Structure 1
Amino acid sequence: MTGLALLIPGGRGQLGTDLVRRGRDVVGAAGIVHGLGSAELDITDAASVDAAVARLAASAAEAGVRPVAINAAAYTAVDAAETDEAAAMRVNRDGPARLADACAAHDVALVHVSTDYVFPGDADRPYEPSDPTGPRSAYGRTKLAGERAVLDRCPRAWVVRTAWVYGAAGGNFVKTMIRLEAGRERLSVVDDQVGSPTWTGDLADGLIELAGRLAAGRPPARRVLHCTNGGQASWFEFARAVFAEIGADPTRIDACTTADFPRPAPRPAYSVLSGSAWAGEGLTPLPPWRQALSAAFREQSAELRGGQAG
């Protein structure tokens, strides 16, 4: 890989943690990885963002490597956004806009991570990057606004949408299922929402591969791409797979409908994202979701189990 300097806003979060860890493995001693959490970098503060991007550009120039920012910072409280859309907009639209401005000013390539929630969720085939958007939640609207801000403000920006993310850091569906398995004899999980469970370890590898392409001066022609683990599952199927991984009986989980568990924010019924454009640009497809889940437990079992060794 061409020498690389990475700035990762959101570097203490679920995806950011794996981006920092795997980024350091990839770039080696000659590269640079700056992973900054929200306490270290408020992406809604234009001056702070510009200073961070300027430092990255200067460090990269001194080291003789190319700078790329991967934005993993986001407001991800989907239900809370329904009653506080303004706060979500500040982080999901205004923050990426500030980052895009700074990257454009300092000639830094930008990869911005987005979500399946920008689509309405009523498709009958995997969504392509070029398909019409139509978010049905406040969270989805704020993420779509962030995509547009990034693409409008930075000529060397790429948007990568992903979905159903889980990993060792932070809270997620996998950890919730493990916790509930220990405390309940039976569970009910919705079986009428379908997507592609995506491990942050694999997603981080894909995003770093893309960053390396940008650093090498071989950018994808498409500026919006999709990157998830392969295949699809319902939350019910995903939950049963988690139980299988931890040695619990999957038949303890019953299927139910979305109507049985109403939430403040509407969830997409179908949010599978097509990886055709990603592969078409010569980027490595991520492994199938079930294979990835097994790999996640081999590599991060203790963290996924909440610190209890598997």
Structure 2
Amino acid sequence: MKILVTGCFGQVGRCLVEQLSSVDGVKFIALERDELDITDSNAVTDVVQSFQPDVIINAAAHTAVDRAEEEVELSYAINRDGPENLAKAAEESGAAILHISTDYVFAGDKEGEYIENDETGPQGVYGKSKLAGEIAVANACKRHVIVRTAWVFSEYGINFVKSMLRLAETRDTLGIVSDQIGGPTYAGDIAKVLIEISFAIKQNNHKGFGVYHYSGLPHVSWYQFAKTIFNEANKQGLLNKKMSVTSISTNDYPTPAKRPAKSTLNNKKIHTEFGIEPSDWQLALKNLRRYTS
């Protein structure tokens, strides 16, 4: 199987490269923005026609949620136009496309968990541009799988876990938002899922393309997530003090972009179709030393 990965310097992209390097029967190329600008349709077509992948995994995205409020044109170029270019190239070459999306496509005001066909209602530019990307991909390529995920963290890049560990080096107290609820998701688990789905597509061992939710359990607030991180850091000897974590509201910590208050994703569909279990984010925190290097 031949796989083309875009956005290979992001959290999921780096995990994909790491994992694909040890998977038998796979030939892959992984490209970052300097090597392939996905907003350049001619460049995308050239790469796809040259490599002829069975599956394109798009891990490229403009994920700076607050900056997106100012960088509107760039957000739509990367989150909508780029995925559309990849999807069109996939359709023309007979490839399938796997595209990563987000819980931010929802308003965050539902009582229960969001399922795939719930009404969307993004609150900011990031969510709106990602939803536009979903629509563009679905319209451009019949053989598409869109995976919505949430609260991504890993050893790489900038994320909540790494930020908490860094802040703990110089702070003894932190106020963390407790009225936003979601499912932390380890990027390594997302990468594993994308590879599993790629094999299912290649082997024609699935019933349908479309939109799927994949995120971590249990659902928690950012406050609860932070408390767990610091408890693990103490257990693992990375912290020699007890962090004082205070619960604050979203209104106490205003940001340029509005976040969904409750964006818990239901993982039942992806389990039914592909046998995939939710991400175990607590297990992913068992070796926090990886996040400090």
Structure 1 unaligned regions, length at least 5: 61-66
Task: Please show how residues 102-251 of structure 1 align to structure 2 within 5 Å.
Answer: 102-247=89-234, 248=239
- Aligned 8 A contact 1:15 1:72 in 2: yes
Q: Pick the aligned partner of 1:21 from 7, 18, 22.
A: 18
The Cα of 1:251 is off from its aligned counterpart by 5.2
Q: Match for 1:43: what amino acid? A: I
Q: Please give the alpha-carbon distance, in whole angstroms, between the structure 1 residues aligned to 2:205 and 2:131.
A: 26
Q: Report what 1:38 is aligned to.
A: 33
Query: Secondary structure, in 3 states, of the residue corresponding to 2:274?
Result: coil
Q: Does 1:53 align with 2:40?
A: no
Distance 1:202 1:152, change over 3 A: same
CA-atom RMSD in angstroms = 1.4
The Cα of 1:221 is off from its aligned counterpart by 2.0
- The superposition leaves residues 178-204 of structure 1 with CA deviations (integer Å, 9 ceiling, x where unpaired) of 010011111110000000000011111
The Cα of 1:168 is off from its aligned counterpart by 1.4
Structure 1 vs Structure 2: percent identity of aligned residues?
39
Q: Please give the alpha-carbon distance, in whole angstroms, between the structure 2 residues aligned to 1:12 and 1:244.
A: 30
Q: Pick the aligned partner of 1:275 from 258, 263, 267.
A: 267
Q: Match for 1:121: what amino acid? A: G
Q: Please give the alpha-carbon distance, in whole angstroms, between the structure 2 residues aligned to 1:9 and 1:145.
A: 18
Q: Does 1:96 align with 2:83?
A: yes
- The superposition leaves residues 124-176 of structure 1 with CA deviations (integer Å, 9 ceiling, x where unpaired) of 11110111101011100000000000000101111110000001111100010
The Cα of 1:222 is off from its aligned counterpart by 4.8
The Cα of 1:220 is off from its aligned counterpart by 3.9
Q: Match for 1:18: what amino acid? A: C
The Cα of 1:293 is off from its aligned counterpart by 2.6
State the number of aligned residues. Answer: 288
Q: Report what 2:251 is aligned to.
A: 259
Query: Secondary structure, in 3 states, of the residue corresponding to 1:103?
Result: helix
Query: Secondary structure, in 3 states, of the residue corresponding to 1:272?
Result: coil
Q: Match for 1:218: what amino acid? A: N
- Aligned 8 A contact 1:232 1:289 in 2: no
The Cα of 1:56 is off from its aligned counterpart by 2.4
Structure 2 unaligned regions, length at least 5: none
Distance 1:119 1:5, change over 3 A: same
Runs of 4+ in structure 1 off by over 4 angstroms are: none
- Aligned 8 A contact 2:181 2:264 in 1: yes
TM-score (norm 2): 0.95
Query: Secondary structure, in 3 states, of the residue corresponding to 1:96?
Result: helix
The Cα of 1:250 is off from its aligned counterpart by 5.6
Distance 1:216 1:91, change over 3 A: same
Q: Report what 1:64 is aligned to.
A: none
Q: Pick the aligned partner of 1:11 from 8, 12, 29.
A: 8
Distance 1:250 1:151, change over 3 A: farther
Q: Please give the alpha-carbon distance, in whole angstroms, between the structure 2 residues aligned to 1:83 and 1:220.
A: 41
Query: Secondary structure, in 3 states, of the residue corresponding to 1:158?
Result: strand
Q: Please give the alpha-carbon distance, in whole angstroms, between the structure 1 residues aligned to 2:206 and 2:75.
A: 30
The Cα of 1:292 is off from its aligned counterpart by 3.0
Q: Report what 2:62 is aligned to.
A: 75
